[in-house]
A and B are shown apart, each in its own frame.
Chain A
Amino acid sequence: DIMVTQTPLSLSVTPGQPASISCKSTQSLLHSDGKTYMYWYLQKPDQPPQLLIYEVSIRFSEVPERFSGSGSGTDFTLKISRVEAEDVGVYYCMQSVQFPYTFGQGTKLEIK
């Protein structure tokens, strides 16, 4: 299985400040179809995960522009340009280039 490792595991951010989460995979996430299958989710308290970013950098429907994804190969980053109170929760990355799809351990973001 492809392992994905997130850092940091927790993050405390002042509202209005940026935040960044890293995800590294043990194999390249570049598929033979030319797409790179890195997904980012946010799980708010007591809710299911919600998709933020797919295929490295494409924001899902209605996701605010302050969320952005970047990276290639095995190294990926989720950035929040200016953190808001509603961004609290646990962020997960997921690789879906190869079965079984696998998730990172999660990064808990809290507001200072």
Chain B
Amino acid sequence: QVQLQQWGAGLLKPSETLSLTCAVYGGSFTDYFWSWIRQSPGKGLEWIGEISYRGVTNYNPSLKSRVTMLADASKNQFSLTLTSVTAADTGVYYCARGGRPRIWGQGTPVTVSS
């Protein structure tokens, strides 16, 4: 039974960098793409992007200039970095298995506030 455990800083100031990591337990890391999705009251669910274990990425163009995803197959982990955050980046961030997400992590609430 695959489980995704995610963590990262939950309170940021404007202009800081959001960093989240997702660890995969159980199941294959190399057989799937892995994705990040966020949820905010204003914008609902928003697909941020996906990454393969080899590091092949596809990002949402609306965030592409600020997003970096990395994958570490030796640790079965992947990460999300979002630079220059603003209040509009406040929300719950989810990691998931599949670029078309099938299994989701529990979510990490992130608040951007001065």
In this complex, how many residues of chain B approach chain A with their Cβ under 8 Å: the count is: 20
Residues of B within 8 A of A102 (CB): 47
* A interface, over-half SS: loop
B46 touches A54 (CB 8 A): no
B45 touches A39 (CB 8 A): no
B100 touches A37 (CB 8 A): yes
Query: A26 on the interface (CB 8 Å rule)?
Result: no
In this complex, how many residues of chain A approach chain B with their Cβ under 8 Å: the count is: 18
Query: B76 on the interface (CB 8 Å rule)?
Result: no
On B, residues with C-beta under 8 Å from A are 44-47, 49, 58-62, 94, 99-107
On A, residues with C-beta under 8 Å from B are 37, 39, 48-51, 54, 60, 92, 94, 96, 99-103, 105-106
